[in-house]
């Protein structure tokens, strides 16, 4: 029998009557993610999802690595199925795990018997397979508490399966099960991390990036596109809405007090992001804001920027310190791209002394001379959409 992949599901196994919708969404996401690696059959039984190659041309190893970035899965195992017979299980363990068995010094066998018609109990099967492996490999000693290698045997409906320890999956919930949101993506460290974190909670994303040419370079734009591309293994297909923001920033520089420039600029970003959200059916906005990190992320400043939108604003990084955010950025592979020295629109017009605790009334007063609707409509009309 061919090798296949066993997936352990996360918190969705705790769902009630709507659990099937979570499993269906996960299977749809898996089919899309597996498409480049060949034809696979994906099905779920007894809280385990099976990914079975349909022919010899399937790239099982490539599929295995890709699946580890699919949200909704907590463990991924490369397994070999066999007949539900103790000797067949033993033979499969020797053949499939031979290299690992020869390299380890201590081991144990752990059995799960989901098929209660199997004539041996879980303990009996573990003792049989473990005893035979101990006899066959002189280098092995049994250690049931801290083994170097655990041989897992699962006796299920259609077959028995043998595998080593599962590798960690991405966790979370299947992307799309909790609706769609628009994420404001800059070229920094925080916004890719916030996008990853909210996608992990089952939210499909559209990205919005604000581009201020010629103050920001084409390389800065490409940097953001690359960050979005690095997120696609986790988030699935993404559309990046690149918003021309130069005219708005130049108008703000002419008309607004310098110390309020950043908060007024961010209010325009939120208005435009909400307009994009309404076009694509998104129900929330996502930002990389972290409380107190910079002047525009004080409680008062965030109250002012959030006041211009009706949609909820999700801030996954709000209570994290910078080192925690950096650790996640390194884990998901966005950190090295985020620190490339290309400016973004938020840094080009940074005021020398930004107001730390602006009030809503003074910010609204600063906007009085602006034709807000016209500026927003022109920016939205000029959006460039990039599919990833």
DSSP state of 20: H
What pLDDT sits at residue 297?
85
What pLDDT sits at residue 1?
54
Which residue in 198, 264, 287 sits closest to 234, CA to CA? Answer: 198
Degrees, nearest 5: CA angle 96-13-160:
25
User: 312 exposed, middle or buried (CB, 10 Å; 0-12, 13-18, 19+)?
Assistant: exposed
What pLDDT sits at residue 351?
66
Q: Find the helix or strand (DSSP H, E) in which 215 lies.
A: none
Residue spans of the domains in the chain: they are: 4-170, 180-387
Query: What are the pLDDT tens digits along the chain (388 aa)?
Result: 579 999 999 888 888 888 889 999 999 999 999 999 999 999 888 778 999 999 989 999 999 999 999 999 999 999 999 999 999 999 999 999 999 999 999 999 999 998 899 999 999 999 999 999 999 999 999 999 999 999 999 998 889 999 999 999 999 999 999 999 999 999 899 999 999 999 999 999 999 999 988 888 889 999 999 999 999 999 999 999 999 999 999 999 888 888 898 899 999 999 999 999 999 999 999 999 999 888 778 999 999 999 999 999 999 999 999 999 999 999 999 999 999 987 665 555 676 777 788 999 999 999 998 999 999 999 999 999 999 9
Which residue in 289, 210, 202 sits closest to 242, CA to CA? Answer: 210
Contacts of 19 (CB under 8 A, 6+ apart): 12, 13
Q: What's the token pair of residue 284? A: 């929330």
Length of the chain: 388
What pLDDT sits at residue 344?
66
What are the strands of the beta sheet with 239-244, ordered from one edge? 313-314, 285-286, 180-184, 204-211, 239-244, 384-387
In SS3 terms, 223-284 reads as HHHHHHHHHHHHHCCCEEEEEECHHHHHHHHHHCCHHHHHHHHHHHHHHHHHHHHHHHCCCC
What pLDDT sits at residue 230?
97
What pLDDT sits at residue 214?
87
Taking CA atoms, 281 is separated from 181, 195, 230, 233, 237, in Å, by 8, 17, 24, 22, 16
Instruction: State the alpha helices, DSSP H only, in the chain.
Output: 19-34, 60-67, 86-96, 98-103, 122-136, 190-200, 218-235, 246-255, 261-280, 299-306, 322-332, 335-338, 345-348, 360-366, 372-381
Q: Find the helix or strand (DSSP H, E) in which 37 lies.
A: none
Contact 211, 169 (CB under 8 A): no
Q: Are strands 141-142 and 106-113 parallel, antiparallel or unpaired?
A: parallel
Contact 238, 204 (CB under 8 A): no
Q: Are strands 48-53 and 4-9 parallel, antiparallel or unpaired?
A: antiparallel
Give the CATH class of 4-170: alpha beta
- Specify the pTM: 0.89
What pLDDT sits at residue 347?
58
Say which CATH architecture domain 180-387 belongs to: 3-Layer(aba) Sandwich (3.40)
User: 10 exposed, middle or buried (CB, 10 Å; 0-12, 13-18, 19+)?
Assistant: buried
What pLDDT sits at residue 258?
85
Which residue in 193, 232, 228 sits closest to 324, CA to CA? Answer: 193
User: 41 exposed, middle or buried (CB, 10 Å; 0-12, 13-18, 19+)?
Assistant: exposed
């Amino acid at each position: 029998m061919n090798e296949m992949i066993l997936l352990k599901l996360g918190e969705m196994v705790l769902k009630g009557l709507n659990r099937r919708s979570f499993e269906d969404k996960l299977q749809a996401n898996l089919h899309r993610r597996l498409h480049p690696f060949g034809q696979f059959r994906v099905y779920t039984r007894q809280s385990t999802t099976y990914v079975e190659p349909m022919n010899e041309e399937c790239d099982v190893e490539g599929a295995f690595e890709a699946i580890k970035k699919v949200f909704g899965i907590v463990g991924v195992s490369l397994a070999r199925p066999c007949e539900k017979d103790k000797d067949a299980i033993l033979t499969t363990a020797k053949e499939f795990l031979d290299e690992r068995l020869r390299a380890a010094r201590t081991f144990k066998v752990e059995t799960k018997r989901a098929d209660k018609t199997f004539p041996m109990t879980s303990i009996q099967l573990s003792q049989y397979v473990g005893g035979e492996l101990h006899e066959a490999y002189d280098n092995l000693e049994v250690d049931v508490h801290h083994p170097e290698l655990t041989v897992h045997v699962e006796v299920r409906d259609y077959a028995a399966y043998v595998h080593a320890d599962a590798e960690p999956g991405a966790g979370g919930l299947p992307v799309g099960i909790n609706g769609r949101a628009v994420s404001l993506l800059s070229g920094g460290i925080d916004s890719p991390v916030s996008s990853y974190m909210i996608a992990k909670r089952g939210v499909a994303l559209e990205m919005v990036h604000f581009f201020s040419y010629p103050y920001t370079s084409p390389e800065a734009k490409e940097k953001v596109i690359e960050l979005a591309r690095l997120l696609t293994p986790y988030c699935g297909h993404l559309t990046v809405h690149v918003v021309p923001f130069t005219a708005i920033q130049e108008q703000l520089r002419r008309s607004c007090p310098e110390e309020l420039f950043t908060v007024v600029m961010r209010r325009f970003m939120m208005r435009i992001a909400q307009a994009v959200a309404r076009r694509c059916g998104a129900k929330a906005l996502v930002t990389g804001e972290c409380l107190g990190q910079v002047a525009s992320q004080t409680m008062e400043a965030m109250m002012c920027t959030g006041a211009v939108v009706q949609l909820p604003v999700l801030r996954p990084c709000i209570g994290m310190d910078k080192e925690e955010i950096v650790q996640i950025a390194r884990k998901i592979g966005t950190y090295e791209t985020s620190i490339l020295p290309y400016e973004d629109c938020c840094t080009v017009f940074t005021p020398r002394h930004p107001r730390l605790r602006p009030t809503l009334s003074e910010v609204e007063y600063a906007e009085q001379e602006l034709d807000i609707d016209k500026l927003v409509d022109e920016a939205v009309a000029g959006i460039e959409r990039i599919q990833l």
